[in-house]
Amino acid sequence: MPLTLALVHHPVVNKRGETVVSSITNFDIHDIARSCRTYGLDRYFLVTPTEPQQWLARRIVRHWLEGWGAEYNSNRGEALQLIEVLATLDDVRRRCIELWGRPPRFAGTSARAQGGVLALEELRAMLEQPEEVTCLVFGTGWGLHPDLLRGLDFLLEPILGAGDYNHLSVRAAVAIYLDRLRGHVSKTP
Amino acid sequence: MPLTLALVHHPVVNKRGETVVSSITNFDIHDIARSCRTYGLDRYFLVTPTEPQQWLARRIVRHWLEGWGAEYNSNRGEALQLIEVLATLDDVRRRCIELWGRPPRFAGTSARAQGGVLALEELRAMLEQPEEVTCLVFGTGWGLHPDLLRGLDFLLEPILGAGDYNHLSVRAAVAIYLDRLRGHVSKTP
């Protein structure tokens, strides 16, 4: 049942397909934490191996939990308290075992995913299994490195819009995935 | 059939309920343009009465359409070319008449909407009517001013997550509304 999300900053690729470490982005912290809180996720893992970037992320989170940000807008802290800053997906695995007694199933996302992907309706049903822990994995930059993607438990279908343009921001993609997995879509009466 | 979106920076309210003009946010420009392009919208209107803010928004858009941004990432220009910067919703109305020969139906959004709201499934069906023009209206800051909301043609149901936390970013809310209105949700086989 526990559902978590990991935003990965390495290994990801840049526009030329090179492996890079991407930077922490303030809007990724806020927008994605707010979406995670809205859809009842249990943790939002910010994954970067770079210590100064880890420090920065923790500093921003602390501002909204304990600094004057907490007083200015307490809703924000409610969302940002879901965040844990970790170095790698192995750390995410260890942390999930600590929290829930078992490793997560890692579900990768990619705008370019083809073949052998899991339909979101299928994952939505799987999320009801009470004992399973799931971690949705999103990449920054131009997306997760292919080697990392291959090592995950499964790959989710990409979000399709109205045409063949598939350059959603990671913040928008997260919002849409969470809504499809956990949203209560009303029906016409 | 034409579907457009307006992001309104005035009149909106701040956290104390006061009427304010909010600032143009760079991430609102990019994320929302990319979501609009993905879901095949016809225009993305940035609505602010403040001339320096209009200038700033146009300057950013031009960078990605004509500046070195166009060379660095042409996908971005493809999204940002949907943007038109206008002062008021009256200007949006006039512009739609210019483009499509009729005024839009304005559909308001609010995280606090209650009673008398239109279900998204219903609007999804209405969007198929070939001659109608629709404009989804989103507010920045703490949301659209109540007087503005009351003047719109209808109010859409709010996005419900898993609990009662409803503080999505406007960028996430736009992504989810567009997916519910225009996305192709796959079914389990």
Listing DSSP states for B176-188 in one string gives HHHHHHH------
Along the 189 residues of chain A, how does pLDDT read in single tens digits?
899 999 999 999 999 999 999 999 999 999 999 999 999 999 999 999 999 999 999 999 999 999 888 888 888 999 999 999 999 999 999 999 999 999 999 999 999 877 789 999 999 999 999 889 999 999 999 999 999 999 999 999 999 888 889 899 999 999 999 999 999 765 433
CB contact under 8 A, A161 and B182: yes
Asked whether the beta carbons of residue B168 and residue A175 sit closer than 8 angstroms, the reply is yes
The sign one gets for the Cα dihedral A27, B76, B103, B89 is: positive
8-state DSSP, A15: T
In degrees and rounded to multiples of 5, residue A132 shows phi and psi of -75, 145
In this prediction, residues B136-151 reach a mean pLDDT of 96
ipTM of this complex:
0.95
Q: What does chain A come to in residues?
A: 189
| CB atoms A175 and B175 under 8 Å | yes
Cβ <8 Å between B188 and A34: no
Cβ–Cβ under 8 Å, residues B160 and B121:
no
Q: Is there a contact between B186 and A79 if contact means CB atoms under 8 Å apart? A: no
CB–CB of A101/A133 below 8 Å? no
List B residues 72-111 in contact with A (Cβ-Cβ < 8 A).
Answer: 73, 75-76, 78-79
Which residue ranges form the domains of chain B, and what is each CATH number?
3-182 (3.40.1280.10)
Tokens representing residue A57 in the block: 């992320």
- DSSP bridge pairs for B18: none
> Tokens in use for A112?
């370019």
Question: With an 8 Å Cβ cutoff, is A42 touching chain B?
Answer: no
Optimal mutation site among A73, A155, A167, A187, interface B, most CBs of chain B within 10 A: A167
SS3 label, residue A149: helix
Smallest CA–CA distance from A30 into chain B, residue: B169
pTM, entire model: 0.95
